Amino acid sequence: MPFVRIDLIEGKSADYRKSIGDVIYDAMRSTIDVPENDRFQVITEHKAENFIFDPTYLGVSRTDDCVFIQITLNSGRTVEKKRAFYKAIADGLHERLSLRREDVFINLVEVGKENWSFGNGLAQYSPE
């Protein structure tokens, strides 16, 4: 059950923001084995002065179109799957929105299955 947070500088259209979420969901389904309908995303826009990043860290040239994508998900996926996932997102955003691959910043937060409740105050993934 990935939980996705998408952050960007304000000013993009609703369709643009929705497309970011669509690309991420499609990449989750095709590369890291996320089941259908397992889509939980929050998209937040920020004033430019509140969206701070180094424009050249690690030799990557970033612009004000930079998008932060943080995904909390169950631990256990291989490095190969994660690499394919990162590439699918960057390529998908580039193809669909002409977003530069350099402007796609992704962070995964891996947690144990007992750290989720999908409602009703239950830990659905944790055995009783």
Output the domain CATH number for residue 104.
3.30.429.10
Residue 126 lies in a domain: no
Q: Distance between CA atoms of 8 and 92, rounded to whole angstroms? A: 17
Q: What is the pLDDT of residue 127?
A: 67
Residue 86 lies in a domain: yes
pTM: 0.91
Look at residues 28, 1, 38, 24 and name the one whose alpha carbon lies nearest to residue 117: 1
Look at residues 25, 12, 26 and name the one whose alpha carbon lies nearest to residue 99: 12
Q: Distance between CA atoms of 121 and 115, rounded to whole angstroms? A: 12
Q: What is the pLDDT of residue 122?
A: 75
2 is a catalytic site residue: yes
pLDDT tens sequence across 26-50: 999 999 999 999 999 999 999 999 9
The domain tally of the chain equals 1
pLDDT of residue 75 exceeding 80, the answer is yes
pLDDT of residue 117 exceeding 90, the answer is no
Token digits of residue 36: 């259908």
Give the domain range for residue 18.
3-115
The terminus-to-terminus CA distance of the chain in angstroms comes to 19
Token digits of residue 56: 């050249």
In the chain, what's the furthest Cα-to-Cα distance? 49
Q: What is the pLDDT of residue 35?
A: 92
Neighbours of 96 (CB within 10 A): 14
Q: How many residues does the chain have?
A: 128
Residue 108 lies in a domain: yes
Rounded alpha-carbon distances, angstroms, from residue 25 to 2, 14, 38, 62, 64: 9, 17, 9, 23, 23
Neighbours of 30 (CB within 10 A): 13
**pLDDT > 70 fraction of the chain, expressed in percent and rounded:** 98
